[in-house]
Structure 1
Amino acid sequence: MTLPLDGIRIADFTQMMQGPWATQKLADMGADVVKIERPGGEWERFLEAGGETLEGTSPFFLAMNRNKRSIELDLKRERGQKLAREFVADADVVVENFRPGVMERFGLDYETVSEQNPDIIYVSASGFGPDGPYVDRPGQDLLLQAMSGLARYTGRRDDPPTPVGTAVVDEHAASLIALHTTMALFHRERTDEGQRVDVNLFNAALDLQCQELTAVLNLEREFERSEEGIAQAWLDAPYGIYETADGYVAIAMAPLETVSDALDLEELAEYAAADAYERRDEIKRLLEAETRTRATDDLVEALLAVDVWVAPVNDFHDVAEDPQVKHNEMLIELEHPDGGTFTTTGSPVDYSKTPATVRTNPPAAGEHTRELLTELGYDETAYKELVADGVVGTLVENDE
Structure 2
Amino acid sequence: MDQALEDVTIADFTQMMQGPWATQKLADMGADVIKIERIGGEWERTLHAGGELLDGVSPFFLAMNRNKRSVELDLKSDEGQEVALDIVAEADALVENFRPGVMDKFGLGYDDVREVNPEIVYVSASGFGPDGPYAGRPGQDLLLQAMSGLAQNTGRKDDPPTPVGTAIVDEHAASQIAFNTMVALFHKERTGEGQRVDTNLLNASIDFQCQEITASLNLDVDFERSEEGIAQAFLGGPYGIYETADGYVAIAMTPMEALVDLFEDERFTEFDTPKDQFDRRDEIKRLLESYTREYATDDLLDLLLDADVWAAPVNDFDALAEDPQVDHNDMLVDIEHPGGGEFTTVGVPADLSETPGRVETPPPSPGEHTEEVLTEFGYDDERIQSLRDAGVTGESLQTSTSDD
Q: TM-score, normalised by structure 2?
A: 0.97
**Which residue of structure 1 lines up, in the alignment, with residue 366 of structure 2?**
365
- d(CA) in 1 for partners of 2:240, 2:250: 6
What do you get for the CA RMSD once the two structures are aligned?
1.2
Per-residue CA distance 1:14-52 (angstroms, 9 max, x = gap): 000000000000001110000000000001100000000
**Which residue of structure 1 lines up, in the alignment, with residue 32 of structure 2?**
32
- d(CA) in 2 for partners of 1:398, 1:116: 31
**Which residue of structure 2 lines up, in the alignment, with residue 133 of structure 1?**
133
Q: Which segments of structure 1 move beyond 4 Å, counting only runs of 4 or more?
A: none
- d(CA) in 1 for partners of 2:96, 2:265: 56
Count of equivalent residues = 400
**Which residue of structure 1 lines up, in the alignment, with residue 277 of structure 2?**
276
Higher mean C-alpha displacement, 357-366 vs 199-208: 357-366
Q: Which amino acid aligns with 1:112?
A: D
Per-residue CA distance 1:50-84 (angstroms, 9 max, x = gap): 00010000001011101100011011111111111
Change (3 A) 1:293 1:281: same
What residue ranges of structure 2 are gaps of 5+ in the alignment? none
- d(CA) in 2 for partners of 1:223, 1:216: 7
What is the identity percentage for the equivalent residue pairs of Structure 1 and Structure 2?
Answer: 67
Q: State the 1:349 CA deviation.
A: 0.4
Q: Is the 8 A contact 1:370 1:399 kept in 2?
A: no
1:336 and 2:337 are equivalent in the alignment: yes
- d(CA) in 2 for partners of 1:68, 1:354: 18
Q: Is the 8 A contact 2:367 2:398 kept in 1?
A: no
**Which residue of structure 1 lines up, in the alignment, with residue 105 of structure 2?**
105
**Which residue of structure 1 lines up, in the alignment, with residue 22 of structure 2?**
22
Per-residue CA distance 1:250-294 (angstroms, 9 max, x = gap): 000101220221133332233322421111111111111211111
Q: Is the 8 A contact 2:333 2:345 kept in 1?
A: yes
**Which residue of structure 2 lines up, in the alignment, with residue 253 of structure 1?**
253
Q: Is the 8 A contact 2:371 2:398 kept in 1?
A: no
Q: Is the 8 A contact 1:122 1:197 kept in 2?
A: yes
Q: Which amino acid aligns with 2:395?
A: T
Change (3 A) 1:347 1:267: same
Q: How does 1:135-284 map to 2 (within 5 A)?
A: 135-273=135-273, 274-284=275-285
**Which residue of structure 2 lines up, in the alignment, with residue 319 of structure 1?**
320
Q: Which amino acid aligns with 1:75?
A: L
Per-residue CA distance 1:176-218 (angstroms, 9 max, x = gap): 1111101101101111100000010000000000011000001
Q: Which amino acid aligns with 1:315?
A: D
Q: Which amino acid aligns with 1:200?
A: N
Q: Which amino acid aligns with 1:25?
A: K
SS in 2 for 1:183: helix
SS in 1 for 2:399: helix
- d(CA) in 2 for partners of 1:44, 1:259: 48
- d(CA) in 2 for partners of 1:352, 1:235: 38
Q: Is the 8 A contact 1:368 1:399 kept in 2?
A: no
- d(CA) in 1 for partners of 2:161, 2:114: 44
Q: Which amino acid aligns with 2:170?
A: D
- d(CA) in 1 for partners of 2:339, 2:3: 28
Q: Is the 8 A contact 1:123 1:177 kept in 2?
A: yes
SS in 2 for 1:95: strand
1:70 and 2:70 are equivalent in the alignment: yes
- d(CA) in 1 for partners of 2:7, 2:56: 33
Q: TM-score, normalised by structure 1?
A: 0.98
- d(CA) in 1 for partners of 2:43, 2:117: 29
- d(CA) in 1 for partners of 2:400, 2:283: 66
Q: State the 1:147 CA deviation.
A: 0.4
**Which residue of structure 1 lines up, in the alignment, with residue 121 of structure 2?**
121
Q: State the 1:111 CA deviation.
A: 1.0
Q: Which amino acid aligns with 2:80?
A: G
- d(CA) in 2 for partners of 1:387, 1:109: 25
Q: Which amino acid aligns with 1:38?
A: R
